[in-house]
Chains A and B, each alone.
Chain A
Amino acid sequence: MASDTRLRLVPVGDGADADELLGQVARGDSAAFAALYDALGSAVYGLARHVVRDPSRAEDITQEVFLDVWRKASGFDSSRGKAKTWVMTIAHRRAVDAVRRSESHKRQDHHGAPDVISHDQPGDALIAAEEHSAVRDCLKTLTDLQLESVQLAYFNGYSYVEVAKLLDKPLPTIKTRMRDGLIRLRDCMKGTR
């Protein structure tokens, strides 16, 4: 059937051509920009949604991130890392900035709230990407404290000082746990790539 080719699913998880696309975006290629959005839009939106919770705020952040990417594409240096990492780093910073700005008062009341280690909410239409399960498996290699420290920082936007206070641990302990946690995650992810 002729339509088979058109309907073939393209894996979006690893952002393999994102580097090439970003290079084209830097030269003003709108079609490449659209393709880059198709490749990484769900990762950016999903992260923003997870961090800020509010769907419409997550949309705004996604837009800010991609406009940043569009504007600053020429500043991306492929010798220093992957395009996907670059985009996700921008996305994370934007999302965390937003949550720190808007919820600095609110969230004081939520310290230790049960959603701190959040799990996907049903009905969220989350994509079960291959990477998703790889990350999940790799997160199992972390100790509880490493996992908690990394997640509180990355998904809740807490500084390591705040995490230390929240978990009632000394600062050097938390610093070390975050680093050790990322070392384990990095090494485990390497094995899956």
Chain B
Amino acid sequence: MTTDVHLLSGAYALDAVGEEESAAFRTHLEDCHSCRTEVAEFRRAAASLGASKAGHPPAHLRPRILTAADRLPQMPPTVTDLHSREDRRRPAWLPRLVAAAAAVAVVGGGASYVLQRGEPDTTLAAPVSQVFKAPDAHTKAVTTARGTVVVATSPSLGKMALDTDQLKSPPQGRVYQMWATEGADGPMTSVGFLTDPAKGAAMEMPEEGVEVAITIEPVGGSTTPTGEKLVSLVPSQV
């Protein structure tokens, strides 16, 4: 480790490092035990700093939160701790792919979750049909150059799902890749691949202002999209 990199631990623990430099620092952290300890200690000190500003929340907030949690499914335990580390690396607004297609992979190393089998009566993966079947599901069909994509959002589940069963298979040597972008022109961050369109995809509801797009990319995926957007979805407008 160079002294210079190590000095970043303070700024990093204060969430005061830009995304690119943060990523480099996290790579460094993986190989530097003492740095991880230091960041953990700094975060604890920062937490005390934050807690020193404690203030009574309004009384109506408690029931609001407890009711909302009551309707929200919990995530299954992550399998390796690499995933939980990845978890912290992702921008807060980035939607997270939940167990959908059997071979979901995320470019740049993202979380992958417990895989579930599709229900017998549908080719859609269980987490996908779950969103479509939610009592409060909103759905919308979008026509694309390669077939119709149906989108469902469920506020109670806090999830969004894509039924891509009617999408033609990607051209030879190509793959459908999903992206999230803050606003129509913001930088695009990979959410994952649509490995098996028949199974669809499900993800945590993106934050407001975040759009989800699909492009066609070379097998293995791209770090930034090279193909045109096949479809671009604004979750709040579903």
Q: Which of B44, B75, B209 interacts with A72 by CB under 8 Å?
A: B75
A176 contacts the other chain (CB 8 A): yes
A80 to B81: give the CA distance in the assembly, Å. 11
A79 to B39: give the CA distance in the assembly, Å. 14
A143 contacts the other chain (CB 8 A): no
In the complex, are the beta carbons of B53 and A37 less than 8 A apart?
Answer: no
A97 to chain B, nearest CB (A): 5
A-facing mask of B7-27, CB < 8 A → 1, else 0? 111110111111000000000
B180 to chain A, nearest CB (A): 14
In the complex, are the beta carbons of B13 and A30 less than 8 A apart?
Answer: no
Interface range on chain A: under 10, 10 to 19, 20 to 34, or 35 or more?
35 or more
Which residues of chain B are near A120, meaning CB under 8 Å? 53
A38 to B54: give the CA distance in the assembly, Å. 12
A182 and B42 in contact (CB under 8 A), knowing A42-B57, A59-B58?
Answer: yes
Q: Which of B46, B65, B158 interacts with A66 by CB under 8 Å?
A: B65
In the complex, are the beta carbons of A124 and B55 less than 8 A apart?
Answer: yes
Query: Could you list 15 A-B pairs, sorted by A, with CB under 8 Å?
Result: A47-B54, A62-B57, A72-B87, A77-B81, A77-B84, A84-B47, A88-B51, A89-B47, A132-B52, A135-B49, A135-B52, A136-B52, A160-B16, A163-B16, A179-B8
18 more A-B residue pairs beyond the given contacts A37-B66, A43-B54, A178-B10, with a C-beta to C-beta distance below 8 A: A12-B54, A13-B54, A33-B66, A50-B53, A62-B57, A67-B69, A81-B40, A88-B47, A91-B50, A127-B56, A132-B54, A135-B48, A153-B14, A153-B16, A154-B49, A161-B18, A174-B11, A179-B10
Q: Interface on B for A, CB 8 Å cutoff? A: 4, 7-11, 13-18, 40-58, 61-62, 64-66, 68-70, 72-78, 81, 83-84, 87, 91-93, 158, 209
